[in-house]
Structure 1
Amino acid sequence: MPDAVRSTVISTIDTSSTELHDINKKVHSHPETAYKEYYAHDTITAFLEARGFQVKRSTYNLPTSFEAEYGSGGRLVIVCAEYDALPEIGHACGHNLIATSSIATFLAVAEAIKAHGIKGRVRILGTPAEEGGGGKAKLIDAGAFKDEIAAAIMAHPVSSHQVFKKPGIYDGLAGFKLIASHKFRTEFRGKPAHAAGEPWNGVNALDAAVAAYTNVALLRQQMEPDERVHGVIEAGGTVPNVITEYTRMNWNVRSPTKARVDKLLDRVKSCLEAAAVATGCKIQYIVSPTYLNLRANRKLCETYARDMNAIGVSIQVEQEKDMNASTDMGNVSHIVPSFHGAFVIPTEPGVAGHNPAFAAAAGTDDAHRAALQSAKGMAMLALSVLVDDRIAQQAKEDFEGDDD
């Protein structure tokens, strides 16, 4: 990366820090769940419009998606922005920081294209509903990634102990690797009756849910160590003296690859359907988009680590083993060369994502600074893909050669 371009990236992000921090705090303090991120959508798009960008709001038939692009000709890099939160515990996955880092990346790349006459395009894509809603999967289906794309990039905040065996040595990770996940709900339907007077006339949907949960718990003994199944009862009845007519459960089935997660899903469904047969209930599935495993592109990871190391940020290139979590960015990584890094934010010992204490950590000044440091590396990565034929070609070859 030429020093002049690197200088533009760093100065653009540094001088925008106060405005970006304002966006960060606004999104953090107004947590919104999947497909309801109206405040975040309006706040971010208004900010980009105020900076002179032409923004498309509510794109691809999703009210809380957006898109803005800068540049012309050459290759195209997409920066993915997430901004949804978790029910009840807010930004406990730090998506306010993802939004901040992605906006900063977009601003820096656009300014470098303008200042140095770089041929190429950068596009920021607002991707709602990562937390269970499969927003990127729906965006893929709607054509958001139909163009010829040289790279899609983003980064996620983590606690140091989540990804490193020796916390404190690295400030971040380039090759974040997450596993595949099937997400779905099951509905059990029975027949109500007086639970004391004539229970024999009822068909108990709560018994079906309990049996299903127990069957899956027994299955865990025969699962591979790197596989996960977890579920909750979302609707479990009303009063104890009425046989429960309806229950609903929410499930995640995870395994490192699509092929393996499909096999595990078949086994889980047998457990669920056995519960329906045993209780006489009817079962119905409500299916959400499948999350594919996240593929780490070797060349993009090496390039990001190199540029981050050049500004004094220590980055581990490869994750030692897959992390047993999932993201819809995995779906993107199966259709275009993709980079999904991780940057460390300070947390209390033992605190990780999906913990209320992580939501608090995601709102700190230190977390904001870490997000902007990652943005500098992502901006330099994007620009490297735009200007360096060798890097772009190698990233394409790594993508085509990845058979995960």
Structure 2
Amino acid sequence: MVNLKPDESLGEESRPLGGVTPKSESNESLKPVLDDARSTVGSTIDRLDSELHDINKKIHSHPETAYQEHYAHETITALLEQKGYNVKRHTYGLDTSFEAEYGQGGRLIVVCCEYDALPQIGHACGHNLIATSSIATFFAIAESLKTHKIAGRVRILGTPAEEGGGGKAKLIDAGAFSDDIAAAIMAHPVSDRQVLKVPGSYTGLAGFRLIASHKFRTEFRGKPAHAAGEPWNGVNALDAAVAAYTNVALLRQQMEPDERVHGVIEQGGTVPNVITEYTKMNWNVRSPTAERADNLLKRVEACLEAAATSTGCKLNYIKSPTYLNLRSNQTLCESYAKHMDAFGSKVLVNQEKPMNASTDMGNVSHKVPSFHGAFIIPAERDVAAHNPGFAAAAGTDEAHAAALKCAKGMAMMGLQVILDDETAAGAKTDFEKPDDE
């Protein structure tokens, strides 16, 4: 691969392409350019396969949790610098975020790169593969911009702490997702049973739809006392936590089938002969839209407050960024599916109903036109994300190959947005439509 630097001139010997197609002109005029770009995308990713596989394995074997992804940050940025890109490290006030960009003029594509893992079960959500596919997508778009003298820009953005830390929500607040972004893109590995009714019918999904999630912790504070000698002088924070859990369990009967509430007791006391003074719980409250999640949250909070009242404990909330529902952009999904088909992979364009999971990419999809696809990796029939078996599946050669094939489709989709006014306008129009459940 030719080393590319973001400030390198595209040259004046040929007029740059991109964002210049009159609406009256047929999209067929872009076909030769896209065909040439497809060849470049495919050859670039194939040529970098071994280096991408190496970084994939390094991240997979060094799982790091939210905001602690120092090894992944260093490994990825080192590769980007080795390839000649100017890299900004520790960006937007987050120590494990980074940014690199190539190109000039035209429209801007942002490739989101995740690399955090889950506590204790490592890359059981396959973020090593997300990083791999995102890096490959960035390299392929940048090489195409350079080779074919296309006016446009591509940026890779390191987005830490998707697993509960709300990294993208914090990046939005810090200004990482400006209004001039034509599309923000990424894709997630899944097992086939997560997205397909008929296993083996498709290799992935374009229109991933996930639900909104409020994330927070609760602290109950009581008063210690000897549990046998004078329990009447204590205020039991463990009773408050148990009551809170039970109250929410009772609420579940009255919830809509597509809503979820789940919690764990992170700190539940010390010894049985001391009335527990302090407990901490961790909660998720999920519903298909942000509005419905807000309404469900009020009902959950009533359960928690009742527990505090009945036990005499004080209740404190520790709020984390809310994950908004992930919105599917039809124009981007159709473009991705078309280009994946050209690479020999059939992907499902639209998911029938949202999956009961959440991501901070949902917040991005409410800020700029966004694409969040899914690519299927081989896994045991009873294994899906957030299962230790999925962490093992995410480390296989077959999973790596699936990530790279997905990257080829994403790179072509990004290039089509850069090159084609109609596609860019369609993505913007889809983004501006109201939510549909």
TM-score tier by shorter-chain length is: over 0.9
Q: Percent identity?
A: 77
Partner of 2:331: 299
Alpha carbons 2:327, 2:435 under 8 Å: kept: no
User: Which residue in the other structure is 1:264 paired with?
Assistant: 296
Q: What residue number does 1:111 align with?
A: 143
Q: Give 1:395 shift.
A: 0.6
The answer to whether structure 1 residue 120 and structure 2 residue 152 are counterparts is: yes
Tell whether 2:283 aligns with 1:243: no
Q: Kindly state the Cα deviation for residue 401 of structure 1 after the two structures are TM-superposed.
A: 1.6
CA contact (8 A) 2:179 2:368 kept: no
Structure 2: gaps (5+ residues):
1-30
Structure 1 counterpart of 2:23: none
Structure 1 distance, partners of 2:407, 2:286, is 30
Residue 194 (structure 1) aligns with: 226
Instruction: In structure 1, list runs of 5 or more residues that go unmatched.
Output: none
Alignment of 1:40-51 (within 5 A): 40-51=72-83
Q: Distance in 1 between matches of 2:122 and 2:418?
A: 36
Residues 320-339 of structure 1: matches in 2 within 5 Å?
320-339=352-371
Residue 146 of structure 1: how far off its partner (Å): 1.9
1:225-374 map, 5 Å: 225-374=257-406
Distance in 1, matches of 2:174 and 2:76, equals: 22
Counterpart residue number, 1:176: 208
Offset at residue 197 of structure 1 (A): 0.3
1:24 aligns with 2:56: yes
Matched position secondary structure for 2:92? coil
What is the correspondence of 1:57-72 to structure 2 with a 5 Å cutoff?
A: 57-72=89-104
Q: Distance in 2 between the 1:403 and 1:315 partners?
A: 23
Looking at structure 2, the residues matched to 401 and 332 of structure 1 have their Cα atoms a distance apart, in angstroms, of: 15
Query: Secondary structure of the residue that 1:60 maps to in structure 2?
Result: helix
Pairing partner for 2:432 from 397, 400, 403: 400
How many residues are aligned here?
404
- 2:417 pairs with 1:385: yes
Q: 2:239 aligns to what SS in structure 1?
A: helix
Give 2:173's match in structure 1, choosing from 138, 141, 158: 141
Please report the TM-score for the alignment, with normalisation by the length of structure 1. 0.99
Amino acid at match of 1:32: E
* Residues in 2 aligned to 1:344 and 1:284: alpha-carbon distance in whole angstroms: 41
Q: Given the two structures, how large is their TM-score scaled by the length of structure 2?
A: 0.92
Structure 2: distance between partners of 1:290 and 1:168: 34
**1:150 partner SS:** strand
Task: Find the residue that maps to 1:79 and give its secondary structure.
Answer: strand
The alpha carbon displacement at 1:402 in A equals 3.2
Name which of 58, 75, 79 aligns with 2:107: 75
Structure-1 separation of matches of 2:416 and 2:304: 49
Deviations for 1:180-207, whole angstroms, at most 9, x for unmatched residues? 0000000000000000000000000000
Q: Distance in 1 between matches of 2:211 and 2:233?
A: 45
Question: Deviation of residue 403 (structure 1)?
Answer: 2.9
Runs of 4+ with deviation above 2 angstroms = none
Query: Which of 121, 130, 133 lines up with 1:98 in the alignment?
Result: 130
**Helix, strand or coil for the counterpart of 1:233?**
strand
Q: 2: CA distance between counterparts of 1:366 and 1:181?
A: 32
Q: Deviations over 1:279-327 (max 9, x none)?
A: 0000000000000000000000000000001111010000011100000
Q: Secondary structure at the match of 1:286?
A: strand
Tell me which residue corresponds to 2:241: 209
Query: RMSD of the alignment, in Å?
Result: 0.6
Superposition deviation, residue 147 in structure 1: 4.5
